[in-house]
Structure 1
Amino acid sequence: MIGGRKLLTNAHCVEHDTQVKVKRRGDDTKYVAKVLARGIDCDIALLSVESDDFWKDVEPLRFGRLPHLQDAVTVVGYPLGGDTISVTKGVVSRIEVTSYAHGSSDLLGIQIDAAINPGNSGGPAFNDQGECIGVAFQVYRSDEAENIGYVIPTTVVSHFLTDYERNGKYTGFPCLGVLLQKLENPALRTCLKVQSNEGILVRRVEPTADANNVLKEGDVIVSFDDVHVGCEGTVPFRSSERIAFRFLISQKFAGDTAELGIIREGTLMKAKVVLNPRVHLVPYHIDGGQPSYLIIAGLVFTPLSEPLIDEECEDSIGLKLLTKARYSLARFKGEQIVILSQVLANEVNIGYEDMSNQQVLKFNGARIKNIHHLAHLVDSCKDRYLCFEFEDNYIAVLEREESAAASSCILRDYGIPAERSSDLLKPYVDSVGDGDDQPLDREFGDSPVSNFEIGIDGLLWA
């Protein structure tokens, strides 16, 4: 309870909600709560409760400062093992940029040795003064380690709340959109004409990032808003600590500008870049929780996403699509990998029944940009035939009028209420041009698109 009739919890606790109910300790009445915002990247959700009875005699939590190592911490929640409230105590073990499993992101995190178990998620962590220093959200499980739990610090919570208050919605933590390599090797620094023991090397720039107009592969970033960046990819933190360079980026908001000091071919220069949330070609989560889909004569099309990969299992998805998901970047905002997920068998689609999880590249000769674009192309088609071109040179052709006549029968037979998801009912707006200057066959990148996939310690996305 943070005041203003609002509550905080973890985003993963309300990810697929249809109705959220909350109750106070010692009260058997459940109250309906409304989810105001979800921060997938920071695993925080903001809720509100309208009932006056729920807020009677409630005092909001007081947020405390970022703790130091060995500071005492108390975690409160309702973990497995019982129904009543649980209180566990420990100390702060580590404070650093941490991988947030739910959002596949990297933000400041507090590691503690107090027990955190399923059910603790979304519960507060307190210091000795009774101030809330963060929100419990995940635990590291391994046969080689124990008592490693993580808390979202109040700095991240405050960023989330400020973002929501500024914009009326949550827009997300920004990124620079570059793959960086540490410069710890002296010969590498000398080769790049870097005189001092600082800087990180730009190895790749996302096409959709503003940095793509500013940075080049081979540039060396030596400062961020006049804060010097070390050759191991860290910056000063508090009085005598160092922390990952990405921490500075996370202190900004989407749309903010940062000034970079870069060395390009031995010349030091300054450049300004706009920071925005990262664009994932294959999203880790689906906005709104409901996937987009389009059914044409029993052919079910949908965008490729990580939840779909998890549901179908990697073997069913196939190596080529998995490689694209792990190694390919979006070439423009709004781009999706559209796949034929399955075929609902009917006389009209004889011969295509066994097709599944194949990327569709073209419709009647036009390149497909995303699922909404495909729906627009089909709706505006006046040709006799609907021609779908898939990867691996496979083609599927349907007779347009025959397909339209069969659609209602197919939907009825399979108990499906609509031929498309509600988001595809909106008018299509083309904001990316025709894209004819882009190659159709995407080349796989030479590095993973997520820090979760990178196996080399010297590389990192920021």
Structure 2
Amino acid sequence: MSDKFDFETPNYQPSYSPINFEIPRTIKKKKSLKGYLFAGFIGGLIGALLVSIIFMGYFGVNFANFKNDVNSAISGLNLESSNNLEPVTRTVVLNSGNDSFVTDVAKKVGPAVVGIKNKSTAYNWWTDETQEVTIGEGSGVIISKDGYIVTNNHVVSGARSISVILSGEKEVPATIVGTDALSDIAVIKIDQKYVTSVAPLGDSSKVKVGEFVVAIGNPLGQEFAGTVTFGVVSAVNRKLDVGNGVQIPLIQTDAAINPGNSGGALVNSSGQVIGINTAKISQTGVEGMGFAIPINYVKPIVNDLIKYKKVLRPTIGISVMEYYDRAGNIVGLYISKVYSGTGAAKAGLKEGDLILQIDGKKVTTFSDIQSILSTHKIGDVITIRVLRDGQTKDFKVTLGAPINTND
């Protein structure tokens, strides 16, 4: 049974119920037989010393000489290095000061994380008027002094208008610059006069499993704006289908990510944004499995959206159809058209070729091609293996810019 991945949809209507807290039980460590024998030995030794001291006091024995003899005997026991004494708990110090790095991160990045309202219109039958209503809320991160904000596509999807709630709870108008459903990334913009803080972007290629991270966002909407949660990087390069057939490499974390956190920041201990929070596993019995889109994956998409209002993804220059064998199994992708002037045409691909592999990876669906191309940029060279006239052939294809397939 496959996991169900819930992306934090902005259309969340919170329902409130009593919260049950479970108090963890204290686990007591059982002593071994050796422990009991050792304790008995020490107790007997102490008892013998007390009797000896009383005896010496009564008969006038030289106590100073006896004290030296006892110290020598105890030193010979080497009690401090005994393996029987094991620590029950260990303390990890995150910061030697009064505050942890989480406090510093919250102060540094928190003001650059904003709330986003997705608005539409609804007809009011009682007043016979059309009114503006908020149909969802999410989070976003201010990434430039010009007022550009990165968020998730699903946060602003379907909006007739949007507004941004700044860290000081001031609501200001915003416009959608560009959206990209394949990556679930969108860019919106506010007037630069409202920008008081910009989040520094890090390098997600340097993220290591086990390092501390902080998630900042607005879970459940503005009522819990600026919520900060803490955790670790559980895994990197988790290839998950975000619901459009394309697998995106995600950062997995156990920092709490809840509805409304979408579009918020995942921040490292240096106060740099390393990911945009986007999803969590919503399944009975599963806790602490949230996901963020790596910031290195986000950066080129944001640049394209700002510059072109869309993402310029590399293309091969072909149209394909799924090819089935007699048993009904997909065996490859049939090239139905090769567009002139493209990398495919220049490499020698022809209509009727059956694509078997790209860069050594088996492809049977168009989504397979999309997933492979998502890791490349325009100008990259890929190797396509096809079946032609009963023989396999390899072609080196230079990826080009998007083309107009309607020509």
Normalising by structure 1, we get a TM-score of: 0.45
Residues matched between the structures, number: 242
CA distance in 1, matches of 2:322, 2:204: 31
CA distance in 1, matches of 2:394, 2:363: 21
CA distance in 2, matches of 1:151, 1:179: 33
| Aligned counterpart, 1:221 | 357
| Aligned counterpart, 1:204 | 333
Counterpart secondary structure, 1:93: strand
Cα distance per residue 1:315-359 (max 9 Å; x no partner)? xxxxxxxxxxxxxxxxx956xxxxxxxxxxxxxxxxxxxxxxxxx
State which of 384, 392, 395 in structure 2 corresponds to 1:270: 395
Amino acid at match of 1:49: I
Structure 2 CA distance for partners of 1:152 and 1:205, relative to 1, 3 Å: farther
Contact map agreement 2:214 2:229 (CA 8 A) in 1:
yes
| Aligned counterpart, 1:388 | none
| Aligned counterpart, 1:97 | 239
Amino acid at match of 1:84: A
| Aligned counterpart, 2:270 | 129
Confirm whether residue 119 of structure 1 aligns to residue 242 of structure 2.
no
Contact map agreement 1:214 1:271 (CA 8 A) in 2:
no
Structure 2 matches for 1:215-364, cutoff 5 A? Answer: 218-221=354-357, 223=359, 229=360, 248-253=372-377, 256=379, 258-262=381-385, 264=387, 265=390, 268-272=393-397, 274=399, 333=405
Amino acid at match of 1:123: G
Contact map agreement 1:214 1:273 (CA 8 A) in 2:
no
| Aligned counterpart, 2:195 | 55
Cα distance per residue 1:258-278 (max 9 Å; x no partner)? 331526455553331546779
Contact map agreement 2:335 2:355 (CA 8 A) in 1:
no
CA distance in 2, matches of 1:232, 1:14: 33
Structure 2 CA distance for partners of 1:174 and 1:33, relative to 1, 3 Å: same
CA distance in 2, matches of 1:173, 1:144: 39
Shift of 1:112: 1.8
Counterpart secondary structure, 2:204: coil
Counterpart secondary structure, 1:162: helix
Structure 2 matches for 1:376-395, cutoff 5 A? Answer: none
Shift of 1:77: 0.6
Work out the percentage of aligned pairs sharing the same amino acid: 21
Counterpart secondary structure, 2:200: coil
| Aligned counterpart, 1:437 | none
| Aligned counterpart, 2:119 | none
RMSD: 3.6
Instruction: Indicate the larger mover: 30-39 or 108-117.
Output: 108-117
Shift of 1:246: 6.4
Cα distance per residue 1:2-57 (max 9 Å; x no partner)? 113211111111112222211221x23211111111111111111111151x113x
Contact map agreement 1:202 1:221 (CA 8 A) in 2:
no
CA distance in 2, matches of 1:21, 1:87: 22
| Aligned counterpart, 1:190 | none
Amino acid at match of 1:171: V
CA distance in 2, matches of 1:173, 1:162: 12
Structure 2 CA distance for partners of 1:231 and 1:70, relative to 1, 3 Å: farther
Structure 2 CA distance for partners of 1:105 and 1:256, relative to 1, 3 Å: same
Higher helix share: 2
Shift of 1:96: 2.8
Counterpart secondary structure, 1:16: coil
- Structure 2 residue ranges without an equivalent (≥5): 1-141, 324-329
Cα distance per residue 1:230-274 (max 9 Å; x no partner)? 6799xxxxxxxxxx9966521334x64533152645555333154
CA distance in 1, matches of 2:283, 2:335: 34
Contact map agreement 1:73 1:127 (CA 8 A) in 2:
yes
CA distance in 1, matches of 2:335, 2:173: 42
Contact map agreement 2:246 2:370 (CA 8 A) in 1:
no
CA distance in 1, matches of 2:248, 2:227: 27
| Aligned counterpart, 2:211 | 71
Contact map agreement 1:111 1:148 (CA 8 A) in 2:
yes
CA distance in 2, matches of 1:48, 1:117: 24
Cα distance per residue 1:292-316 (max 9 Å; x no partner)? xxxxxxxxxxxxxxxxxxxxxxxxx
| Aligned counterpart, 2:40 | none
CA distance in 2, matches of 1:206, 1:112: 41
Shift of 1:145: 2.8
Structure 2 CA distance for partners of 1:174 and 1:274, relative to 1, 3 Å: closer
- Structure 1 residue ranges without an equivalent (≥5): 182-200, 224-228, 234-243, 279-331, 335-430, 432-462
Structure 2 CA distance for partners of 1:150 and 1:276, relative to 1, 3 Å: farther
Contact map agreement 2:212 2:230 (CA 8 A) in 1:
yes
Shift of 1:61: 2.2
| Aligned counterpart, 2:308 | 168
Structure 2 CA distance for partners of 1:156 and 1:118, relative to 1, 3 Å: same
| Aligned counterpart, 1:374 | none
CA distance in 1, matches of 2:371, 2:156: 27
Amino acid at match of 1:249: L
Shift of 1:206: 6.2
CA distance in 2, matches of 1:156, 1:221: 24
Structure 2 matches for 1:430-449, cutoff 5 A? Answer: 431=407
| Aligned counterpart, 2:228 | 87
Structure 2 CA distance for partners of 1:115 and 1:132, relative to 1, 3 Å: same
Counterpart secondary structure, 1:45: strand
Contact map agreement 2:186 2:302 (CA 8 A) in 1:
no
Contact map agreement 2:163 2:174 (CA 8 A) in 1:
yes
Contact map agreement 1:258 1:275 (CA 8 A) in 2:
no
Amino acid at match of 1:47: I
| Aligned counterpart, 1:17 | 159
| Aligned counterpart, 2:110 | none
CA distance in 1, matches of 2:308, 2:177: 9
Counterpart secondary structure, 1:259: strand
CA distance in 2, matches of 1:259, 1:230: 11
Counterpart secondary structure, 1:110: strand
Amino acid at match of 1:120: N
CA distance in 2, matches of 1:18, 1:221: 43
